[in-house]
Amino acid sequence: MCGIVGYIGKRQAKDLLIEGLHRLEYRGYDSAGVALVGGNKLKRVRALGKVGELEKKTEGMTLEATLGIAHTRWATHGKPSEKNAHPHADCAGAISIVHNGIIENYTELKDELTKKGHRFSSETDTEVVAHLIEEHTKKSKDIEEAFARALKDLRGTYGIAMVAVAEPERLYVARMGSPLLIGVGKDEYFVASDVSAILAHTKKVVYLEDGERAVITRDGYVVRSGQAVQKKTVSDIEWSEKEAKRGGYPHFMLKEIFDQPESFADALRGRLLPDEGSARLGGLRAVAKRLEGIRRIVIVSCGTSYHAGLVGEYMLEEYAGIPVEVEYASEFRYRKPLLDKYTAVLALSQSGETADTLAAIREAKNKGALALGIVNVVGSTIARETDAGVYNHAGPEVSVASTKAFTSQLAVLSLLTLYLGRKRGMSLVTGQRIARELLKLPRLMERIFEQSGTIKKLAKKYANRKNYLYLGRKYNFPIAFEGALKVKEIAYVSAQGYPTGEMKHGPIALIDREALALFIMPVDSVYEKSVSGLEEIKARGGTVLAITTEGNTALEKKADAVIYIPKTLEMLTPILSVIPLQLFAYHMSVALGYEVDRPRNLAKSVTVE
Ligand code: AGP
Tell me: the pLDDT tens digits for 507-560?
Answer: 999 999 999 999 999 999 999 999 999 999 999 999 999 999 999 999 999 999
For residue 242, pLDDT over 70 is answered with no
Radius of gyration of the CA atoms of the chain, in A: 25
Return the best residue to mutate from 301, 305, 378 for the ligand 1 pocket (most ligand atoms within 8 A of CB): 305
**Which of ligand 1's atoms lies nearest the C-alpha of 382?**
16
From 160-174, 241-255, 407-421, 455-469, the region with the lowest mean pLDDT: 241-255
**Ligand 1 in reach of 96 Cβ (< 6 A):** no
Which helix (H) or strand (E) is 216 found in, with range?
strand 212-217
Q: Is the CB of 330 under 6 A from ligand 1?
A: no
The predicted structure's pLDDT at residue 239 = 67
Give me the pLDDT at residue 345, please: 98
Q: Is 2 a catalytic residue?
A: yes
Residue minimizing CA distance to atom 16 of ligand 1: 349
Number of the ligand 1 atom closest to the C-alpha atom of 403: 2
Ligand 1 centre to CA of 487 (Å) is: 14
Rounded to an integer, the average pLDDT of 91-106 is 94
Give the C-alpha separation, 97 to 417, whole Å.
37
Measured distance CA(316)–CA(331) in Å, rounded:
22
Write down the pLDDT at residue 27. 83
Look at residues 1, 16, 395 and name the one whose alpha carbon lies nearest to residue 183: 16
SS (H, E, C) 127-188: HHHHHHHHHHHHHCCCHHHHHHHHHHHCCECEEEEEEECCCCCCEEEEEEECCCEEEECCCC
d(CA 301, ligand 1 centre) in Å = 9
Does the beta carbon of 516 lie inside 6 Å of ligand 1? no
Contact 12, 65 (CB under 8 A): yes
Question: For position 398, what pLDDT does the model report?
Answer: 87
Closest alpha carbon to 578 in 484, 515, 499: 484
| Contact 605 CB / ligand 1 (< 6 Å) | yes
Position 489 scores a pLDDT of: 97
Whether 244 shows a pLDDT value over 70: the answer reads: no
- pLDDT tens-digit series, residues 260-314: 999 999 999 889 999 999 999 999 999 999 999 999 999 999 999 999 999 999 9
pLDDT at residue 605 above 90?
no
Find all residues with CB under 8 Å of 138, minimum gap 6, and list them: none
| Mean pLDDT score of the chain | 94
Beta bridge partners of 298: 325, 345
Evaluate: CB of 351 within 6 angstroms of ligand 1: yes
Give the DSSP H/E element, type plus range, for residue 355. helix 355-366
Quick one: pLDDT band at residue 467, thresholds 50, 70, 90?
Answer: very high
Instruction: Assign 3-class secondary structure to 28-52.
Output: CCCEEEEEEEECCEEEEEEEECCHH
Identify which of 251, 348, 350 to mutate to test ligand 1's pocket (most ligand atoms within 8 A of the CB): 350
* pLDDT beyond 80 at 105: yes
**Residue 486 Cα: closest atom of ligand 1:** 2
∠ CA 609-347-30, nearest 5°, is 80
